[in-house]
Structure 1
Amino acid sequence: MPHDISRLHHVGHVVGDMAQAMALYRRLGFRLPPPSVPALAPRDGGVPVPFGAANTHADLARGFIELVTPVNAGSTAAGLPRDTRTVPLQAPPEKLPVLQSRIEATSARLADWRGQFEGLHILMFSSPDIDGAADRLTAAGVGHGGVNTVGRPVETPDGQRTETVRYLEIGHGEGGEAAHEPPVGRIGVVADLDPDFQHLRHLDHPNGAQDLAEAVLCVADDQLPFVRERFERYLGRPVDIDADAPLTLVRVTDLPDLLPGEQPPALPALIACTVTVPDTARVRALLEENGLPVRETGRGEPFVPAAAALGTALIFREAP
């Protein structure tokens, strides 16, 4: 029977300086478009002011890595490249205050996570049946905010089109989630990418990156059974280091065997993500040419340590 959560949709790398982060990811071999940031006029007829959060994506075949940073209205130039695109919010006047409030709340969460440490704080899984996934999560006692639908503007050769994005967020004190849930950031489920927009994605990365294979979550030894059970409810299947699952759980005492030299910034924490590439030797050469340190995982895969990659280790796995 097919799983209603099939793989990772995206991970979010929360950073303090978008320009610095983009320069790093380009040295890592990813192609990135200019970032975008929402904007809203403080009064009728006023000039829209960027606020909330700026982000950009390293697109992959079935997902992406997001770079995101909170933005304070009135100080938007700090850490943002000159080619950052402002996207004026468009909504009926009576709905703009609610939209603004939600964006500001998200920005505050991002700022809090960034204050804890730069690194991965967003983990979104992909589903071919998000309504079915929502029903299963509810039946399993997992609190979530229900399925939301938003439109994302996409530039095409024929002009701008709107891509429909459907998603849900887990937790936030709703439903049956325990109040002592480990704080690992934003977790949710997104409907699979729309195939009508797939051909518009930028997949020609110099490092050859193809897909997002896994995220790595490090936990305290005594938390492992609880965290494992929690994510098995989320995914609707077993989570195991040897399973074909989008999440790898590792005890802190086992971390040196998986990622030699790494230290988690907190427990629990998302400490790494893995992308597939056609040729790891080519990636290693590119990374070394760009002055980045390269180590090997316990599985023999090259990775750039978190200390050199703004708080998250980047692992490269050769695709079959």
Structure 2
Amino acid sequence: MTILGLHHIGHVVRDMREAVERYGTLGFTLPPAAYPVLPPAPGAPAEPFGVANTHAYFPGNFVELVTLVGGEATGRMPADARPIPLRVPDDRLAGIVAAIRDTTANLISCLGRFEGVHILMLDTDDVGHEAARLSQEGVGHGGVHAVQRPVETAQGTRMEPVRFLEIDGTAPGLVAEGRVGLAENAGSGHGPHPNGATGLLECVLCVADAELSEVEERYTRYLGVPARAEGAARVFDLRDAAVTLVGASALGDLLPGERCPALPGFAAYTLATRDADATERFLRGRGVPLGRTAGGEIFVPSEAALGVAIVFRAGGGRRSVSSA
């Protein structure tokens, strides 16, 4: 098995300032948001363009907050947001601008559905091998790409290479629920987070009841492993995490009070925490509303977390939100 777990999930937000404040209230430590700056054409002045992001890092994965900047943006940026000048040769500028515009169009499409999680990147130790396997399975994808990304550590920011691919479906780089792909090298991360969170364990995808079997078959090909039935849910166990599918009619049984505003959609993600009781005390002390999953774990409702429920699980493990 070369798909090991979850590399990161992407929480697409309309207003980065609000999102950073909300995640701070929820007890996450975030570096200043960064956004790219480049000229849209040779000789033009540089300007914000594309997407801005920041991350809640863990030792082996992370949660990304991402939003639009530039002409398509409607929200605000934090005062400490950092511009990242992109230096691109004139003969490559048009291609880079076109690629960024494709990414921006994808995010606009995601936000048109709802504010919340629209990106699921799976962790692999060999993205080239997985690209070949996906092709053999008849899964379309955009091929393997290599980029450098900044990683915040206790010693400062460093650049790390990342190889990734995105699965094609409804459009290049998009499937019905958003952006799904695979990536290497999630980085070592840093912390700690005041809420006690230590890692990303699970992503929950809510689908129309009639489409559960079709989506299960699709993710069987994506992940290369079969799902197991756990009540109304279908759980794909990876080495370090899980992807859980649930029909819309059963979501409220697993996460009381929750509904997905558009189907299919990522409804929740689960984080490991060192001490669930301490996490609960911390969140209640911040005035954060909490629910209980079917398995008795605490979760922050989606209405308090900008469109996605956040579950906290003591000690980690691959149990799903449906576990009793």
State TM-score, norm by structure 1: 0.90
Q: 1:90 & 1:159 partners in 2: Cα distance?
A: 22
Tell me what 1:284 maps to.
Answer: 280
Q: 2:16 & 2:125 partners in 1: Cα distance?
A: 32
Cα displacement (A) at 1:297: 0.1
Q: Deviations over 1:192-220 (max 9, x none)?
A: 335xxx2xx32210011111001000111
> How big is the shift at 1:319?
1.0
Instruction: Give 1:238 deviation, angstroms.
Output: 1.3
Consecutive unaligned residues of structure 2, counting only runs of 5 or more, are 229-233, 317-324
Structure 1: distance between partners of 2:261 and 2:285: 28
Which of residues 225, 229, 254 in structure 2 aligns to 1:258?
254
**Does structure 2 conserve the Cα–Cα contact (< 8 Å) formed by 1:38 and 1:89?**
yes
Residue among 145, 148, 151 paired with 1:151: 148
Q: C-alpha deviations, 1:70-111, integer Å up to 9, x for none?
A: 1124x8794101111111112222111111111122112212
Change in Cα spacing, 1:271 to 1:77, as seen in structure 2 (3 Å) is closer
- Residues 31-90 of structure 1 show CA distances to partners (whole Å, capped at 9, x for unaligned) of 0000001111346565421111110000012110000111124x8794101111111112
- Structure 1 residues 167-316: aligned runs within 5 Å: 167-172=164-169, 183-194=176-187, 198=188, 201-240=189-228, 241=234, 244-245=237-238, 246-316=242-312
Distance 2:272 2:103 in 1: 30
CA contact (8 A) 1:117 1:265 kept: yes
Aligned sequence identity (%)? 45
Q: Is the 8 A contact 1:182 1:268 kept in 2?
A: no
Taking a change above 3 Å as real, the CA distance of residues 268 and 158 of structure 1, as seen in their structure-2 partners, is closer
The reply on whether 1:20 has 2:8 as its aligned counterpart is no
Work out whether residues 168 and 175 of structure 2, in 8 Å CA contact, stay in contact via their aligned partners in 1: no
RMSD of Structure 2 on Structure 1 (CA)? 2.3
**What's the TM-score once normalised by structure 2's chain length?**
0.89
* 2:28 aligned partner, one-letter code: F
Residues in 1 aligned to 2:35 and 2:54: alpha-carbon distance in whole angstroms: 9
Tell me the distance in 1 between the aligned counterparts of 2:215 and 2:9. 18
The residue identity in structure 1 corresponding to 2:253 is: D
CA separation in 2, counterparts of 1:84 and 1:170? 30
- Structure 1: how far apart are the matches of 2:180 and 2:16? 22
Structure 1 residue 157, shift from structure 2 partner: 8.3
Counterparts of 2:256 and 2:264, CA distance in 1: 18
Q: Deviations over 1:137-158 (max 9, x none)?
A: 1111110111101122456788
Once residues 158 and 247 of structure 1 are traced to their aligned partners in structure 2, the CA distance between those partners, rounded to angstroms, is: 33
The one-letter amino acid paired with 1:29 is G
Distance 2:186 2:295 in 1: 30
Which runs of 5 or more residues in structure 1 are unaligned? none
Assess, with a 3 A threshold, how the Cα gap between structure 1 residues 76 and 109 changes in structure 2: closer, same or farther. closer
Task: State the match for 1:318 in structure 2.
Answer: 314
Letter in 1 for 2:223: L
**Structure 1 216/160 Cα, relative in aligned 2: closer, same or farther at 3 Å?**
closer
Pick from 66, 69, 89 the counterpart of residue 68 of structure 1: 66
Q: Residues 96 and 172 of structure 1: is their aligned pair in 2 closer, same or farther, counting only changes over 3 Å?
A: farther
Alpha-carbon shift at residue 272 of structure 1 (Å)? 0.4
